Amino acid sequence: MAANFKAELVGSFSTPCAENPTVAMMEAAFVHHAMDWRYINAEVQPDGLAAAVAGARAMGWRGFNLSIPHKVAVIEHLDGLGESASLIGAVNTVVRRDNKLVGENTDGKGFLKALQTVVDPQNKSVVMFGAGGAARAVAVELALAGASRITVVNRSVERGQGLVDLLNDKTPTDARLQVWQATFELPAETDIVINVTSIGLYPDLDARIDYNVETLKSNMVVADAITNPPRTHFVRDAESRGCRALDGLGMLVNQGVIALKYWTDRDVDPEPMRTRVEQVLGL
Ligand code: NDP
């Protein structure tokens, strides 16, 4: 990188791949809005995280994203946390504010923004499959947005109970755990059904969420967090039952839109970002 590099820098501490959809998506926003910014992907190993954060500080980066395995480990290297990152206990976006590095979490906010295009979760009853890092982010934002009940369906009791306790202790929602040991039957009063597991994620394309599709009613909104492939069995089954179904690309694009707002203070257009992601994924 040249010493006289003029563009503002943001980036991600991640793992490399042939063409990174997030990099392509962020750069598409910069091109579309003629913004003099660059988004750079840097491969960072766990034992290099402290040095990488110090490097971003030293180079005056405006911020950066983090992917697994850095989302929790980064916290000790930051100067503070935003509200939902603090509740979730994980950071996917770091923002430089007044020369302090503040950890935020835009995964759940991105999901919420995509969901709100079809339904307002306020006073709604939600069933969510999964209790991992992304599920924590999604559930906390749904609870803060006023979802009245969140049923967490998860295979491991420990992770599921940890999330349910967090929701009940720190948010107004009524959260319950359903340990996932058999085919799940959706309660008739369910409004929103969400998959935030990795079941169906590439390369396990044939894997299916173990629930009774017959209990899915056409008034329910269904949302999948999986981006690759976007048209999972979960999404397609929902459509075939007459439900409104959202794929994971809306969450991906909107978490990027929110991160860009934090860094650049600009409201960028999500459309060219989604188009570029679809190109990279060959859709
Ligand atoms: P984690 O590894 O933290 O969590 C995985 C979750 O899936 C856990 O609840 C785990 O259950 C569950 N799970 C995995 N395999 C099975 C199985 N065979 N049977 C039952 N449960 C299973 O992953 P993340 O939370 O980071 O990611 C979850 C999903 O969200 C992924 O598909 C990821 O691609 C997607 N995602 C999408 C984003 C977007 O922008 N669209 C952003 C971030 C994530 P258990 O606790 O029992 O192990």
- pLDDT category at 283 given cuts 50, 70, 90 is confident
We report the CATH number of the domain holding residue 162 as 3.40.50.720
Residue 50 sits in the same domain as residue 162: no
> Residues 230, 234, 236, 242: is their CA dihedral positive or negative?
negative
Asked if 277 and 254 touch (Cβ cutoff 8 Å), the reply is no
User: Does 163 map to a domain?
Assistant: yes
Active site residue 100: no
- Helices 270-280 and 21-32, interaxial angle, to 10°? 140
User: Does 176 map to a domain?
Assistant: yes
Give, using CA atoms, the residue closest to atom 16 of ligand 1: 199
We report the CATH number of the domain holding residue 57 as 3.40.50.10860
Q: Does 134 contact ligand 1 (Cβ within 6 A)? A: yes
Tens-digit pLDDT profile for residues 16-41: 556 788 999 999 999 999 999 999 98
Q: Does 15 contact ligand 1 (Cβ within 6 A)? A: no
* pLDDT score of 16: 55
Tell me the average pLDDT across 151-180.
98
Cα separations in angstroms, 231 against 26, 85, 131, 234: 23, 29, 22, 8
Q: Which domain holds residue 166?
A: 109-247
Query: How many structural domains compose the chain?
Result: 2
Ligand 1 atom closest to 201 (CA): 32
- pLDDT category at 6 given cuts 50, 70, 90 is low
**Separation of CA 80 and ligand 1 centre (Å):** 26
Q: Does 159 contact ligand 1 (Cβ within 6 A)? A: yes
Ligand 1 atom closest to 248 (CA): 41
How many Cβ atoms sit within 10 Å of the Cβ of residue 70? 25
- pLDDT category at 129 given cuts 50, 70, 90 is very high
**Separation of CA 132 and ligand 1 centre (Å):** 6
Residue 273 sits in the same domain as residue 143: no
- pLDDT category at 61 given cuts 50, 70, 90 is very high
DSSP label at residue 163: H
The average confidence (pLDDT) of the chain is 93
Question: Is the preceding omega at residue 69 within 30 degrees of 0, hence cis?
Answer: yes
User: Does 236 map to a domain?
Assistant: yes
Tell me the average pLDDT across 118-125.
98
- Of 31, 110, 116, the closest CA to residue 65 belongs to 110
- pLDDT category at 1 given cuts 50, 70, 90 is very low
Q: CA-to-CA distance for 30 and 42, rounded, in angstroms?
A: 19
- Of 191, 175, 189, the closest CA to residue 119 belongs to 191
Ligand 1 atom closest to 227 (CA): 41
**Separation of CA 74 and ligand 1 centre (Å):** 20
Residue with tokens 């979490």: 105
Residue 234 sits in the same domain as residue 273: no
User: Does 3 map to a domain?
Assistant: no
Tens-digit pLDDT profile for residues 228-247: 999 999 999 999 999 999 99
